[in-house]
Homo-oligomer: A and B are copies of this chain.
Amino acid sequence: MFALTNFEKAFRPTSVAVIGASDDATRISGRALHYLIRAGYRGAIYPVNNRRETVQGLRAYPSLADVPETPDIALIALPSRLLEGALTDCAEHGVGAAIIYAAGFAETGSDGGTLQDLLAAIAAAGNIRLFGPNCLGLLHTDSGFAGTFSSAFDKALPTPGGAAIVSQSGAYGGHLAYLCEKRGIGVGYWASTGNEAGTDVADCIHWLALQDDVSVILAYAEGIRDGDTFRAALQAAHDHRKPVVFMKVGQSAAGATAAQSHTASLAGADAVFDGLCAQYGVYRARTTQEQVDVAYAAARGRFPKGRNLGIITVSGGFGVQLCDAAERGGLDVTPLAEPGRAKLRALNPMGSDNNPCDTTAGWLNDMSLITKTFDVMYSDGGYDSIVGSFTMLPDSPTYGEEIRKAIGAGTREFLDRPTALCMEARPEVVRAYESDGFLVFDDSERAVTALGALAYFAEHFDTPIARRHRTRTARYDLGSDPLSEHAAQQILADAGIPFPRSTVVTHPDDVAKAAADIGFPLVMKIVSPDIAHKTEIGGVILDVENEAQAAAAYSTLLERADAAVPGARIEGVFVGAMCPKGVETIVGVTNDPVFGPTVMFGLGGVHAELFRDIAFRVGELDHAEAVNLVREIKGHPLLAGFRGAAPSDVDALGDLLVAVSRFAVTHADQLDSLDLNPVLVLEEGRGALALDALITVRTAP
């Protein structure tokens, strides 16, 4: 368990000291105090200011020592030069948490970095939950605790609710709060972590995941500092079924370093982050709009059981458009089966009797039709979620209220399934539908994206995450010199990674045993330092199928060598398993500076790179997660039996990936990177083979 000390005191303090509190509510040093007073903060407020008797109408205290109780948190609105003293004071007085707003630290260069490190050390020693520096603070809506000077709360604190916002960037976090308010998403917790000297986004996610009153976490980060903390946080969110909707921009330092090794140069740390999201069921939003849309839907806590989407529209064109959107959003639009189709036909002969169901607008004369249509689609169709497209109808002064009742009646029995409605309507109409339990969107694509995200969360919540560090393979000293391919193969074979068997035979009597060990069919080759182009002299014999052929091939190879290059030094005859047909893939490991050993998978050849079609997973994988990794690449159908080919042995490939991940985790301290290129995936039941191995050992840091 990671330490989440004093988080409670930071987010829900019973008393607050504002150190350096200004009487001027428009100044940064006065704004948090102003917000606290205006929001009716329910705890005690102690402005600390040695130059005034009162600050913004509250009694001021000359120093922390003068405050009549030990405050849970100190908001430190002081310039840099006074911070060390103030934080030391906090530590000495046993203050549980502190927020430092001032900028000009690590983000500006080394001087500020030194002071930041000093502050972090003081906080750590004093057991202070420190936020910042260079942050906009935090707030807890319910208790009116506004430990922030963000101008996003200039007009008011957020409407309370189940969403929690955690952002490295205060500006982005403020923007998210604004968008949530506009969208009717209540926000219970808000935090800006800034330079993260003491508390980072991961810590906040972790603690928030444990709070019962949090229903969805919106997170923003530019980079992740500590892979273990981060993974623990995502694990906690998973275990507590808290959807995390993440916006990560840019590239972490991890990417730059990892890009130096061959396999990682295929992508960058950003793709590793994608892998991590897939692994922990975090939804990674690409745009802010998507982040807010998904959070809006997830905040309801109602998730579909599967990906089967029902579509109801008042015009066929919208139905087709929603089908297109469903394909992009990973949802299935399966047809309605016959009993249900017959019911729809009987109900509404002018409408369509299938999914998507185009009702036309005829039901405006008989609202029970739309009620029954929803009922048939849910009860007969069994769809996991339904999206309905009603354009401007719900906003109609004539029909609006009736429509809402009719749709409500048709979905009342199915409140466990999310129903999204697309409409253009006044905010009060939208709010009325929302209070009935519907999700409302003004764009069909966005509605379907959000439903797809809900299905994604549901799938992940119901699937355990592979625990880390369960299994260790035997440990080798990989040394500090580059490993030869042969040495790498031997070590990896010991670690359970399959390579084709082979040996070099130097006497005709040994051929049969070698063949028996390796198994037919064989490839046999002359081994001689004096013969460069074996094929040209007939020095390679393929498809040796039995013992007699093997014996004959041995003689033939020696004869041909002698005939072609008389006097050539002959070291023996290579006997190896014929490389069977299979799909070429690449398996790699990079040792990410943030996330540690990270397994990469892609198709072989240039295509993984050309189409950027690779995927990542962090740490040790179990077999299920390894198979997920394989299925994640776009080229996956090639392994599933493409164009009538036999399916490949994805099961064995999964075993290989598990073995690779275990080896990598066991040797995390020694390994820089590992490449198996290609890994040949044979027909189902026949295994997967690494044909080539390269291990790069970590050089001293």
Q: Taking beta carbons and an 8 Å cutoff, which residues of A are in contact with B?
A: 151-152, 168-172, 174-175, 178-179, 182, 220, 222, 247, 249-250, 286-289, 314-318, 320-321, 323-325, 328, 391-392, 396, 424, 443-446, 606-607, 609-611, 613, 634-635, 637-638, 642-643
Contacts and interface: CB of A to CB of B under 8 A. Distances in A.
A634 B608 CA distance: 12
A391 B287 contact: no
A212 to B, nearest CB: 30
Contact of A443 (B249, B289, B320, B637): B289
Given A249-B320, A286-B445, 6 more contacts: A170-B315, A171-B315, A175-B424, A178-B391, A250-B320, A610-B637
Contact of A317 (B172, B287, B444, B635): B172
7 contacts: A178-B424, A220-B317, A288-B321, A288-B443, A289-B443, A606-B638, A609-B642
Given A178-B392, A643-B606, A169 B317 contact: yes
A248 to B, nearest CB: 10
Given A443-B288, A443-B289, A635-B611, A642 B320 contact: no
Contacts of A328: 286
Nearest to A321: B249
A606 B641 CA distance: 12
B222 A320 contact: yes
Which of A315, A321, A391 has the most C-beta atoms of chain B within 10 angstroms of its own C-beta?
A321
Copies in the complex: 2
A435 B635 CA distance: 49
Contacts of A607: 607, 611, 635
A445 B152 contact: no
Contacts of A179: 424
A324 to B, nearest CB: 6
Nearest to A151: B392
Nearest to A642: B606
Contacts of A642: 606, 609-610
Main secondary structure of the interface of A (DSSP, over half): helix
A325 B287 contact: yes
A174 to B, nearest CB: 7
A317 B613 contact: no
A317 B392 contact: no
A329 to B, nearest CB: 11
A317 B424 contact: no
**Among all A-B residue pairs, the 3 with the closest Cβ atoms:** A171-B315, A169-B317, A287-B445
Which of A249, A320, A446, A613 has the most C-beta atoms of chain B within 10 angstroms of its own C-beta?
A249
Contacts of A247: 321
A171 B169 CA distance: 43
B610 A318 contact: no
A400 B210 CA distance: 41
A349 to B, nearest CB: 11
A43 to B, nearest CB: 29
Contacts of A637: 610
A168 B317 contact: yes
Given A316-B169, A610-B635, A175 B289 contact: no
A220 B320 CA distance: 12
A499 to B, nearest CB: 26
Nearest to A395: B178
Contacts of A391: 171, 174-175, 178
A318 B443 contact: no
Contacts of A323: 249-250
Nearest to A290: B445
Contacts of A172: 315, 317-318, 321
Contacts of A182: 424
Which of A220, A317, A446, A643 has the most C-beta atoms of chain B within 10 angstroms of its own C-beta?
A317
A169 B396 CA distance: 20
A182 B321 CA distance: 21
Contacts of A609: 642-643
A315 B424 contact: no
A431 B289 CA distance: 22
A256 B315 CA distance: 23
Contact of A445 (B169, B174, B289): B289
Contacts of A151: 392, 396
A606 B169 CA distance: 45
A152 B392 contact: yes
Contacts of A170: 315
A444 B288 contact: yes
A80 to B, nearest CB: 14
A593 B342 CA distance: 35
Contacts of A613: 611
A446 B320 CA distance: 23
Contacts of A611: 607, 611, 613, 634-635
A16 B695 CA distance: 82
Contacts of A638: 606, 610
Given A288-B443, A289-B445, A317-B169, A249 B324 contact: yes
A24 B127 CA distance: 78
A152 B151 CA distance: 39
Contacts of A168: 317
Nearest to A328: B286
A318 to B, nearest CB: 7
A643 B262 CA distance: 12
A610 B583 CA distance: 13
Contacts of A316: 169, 222
Contacts of A321: 172, 247, 249, 288
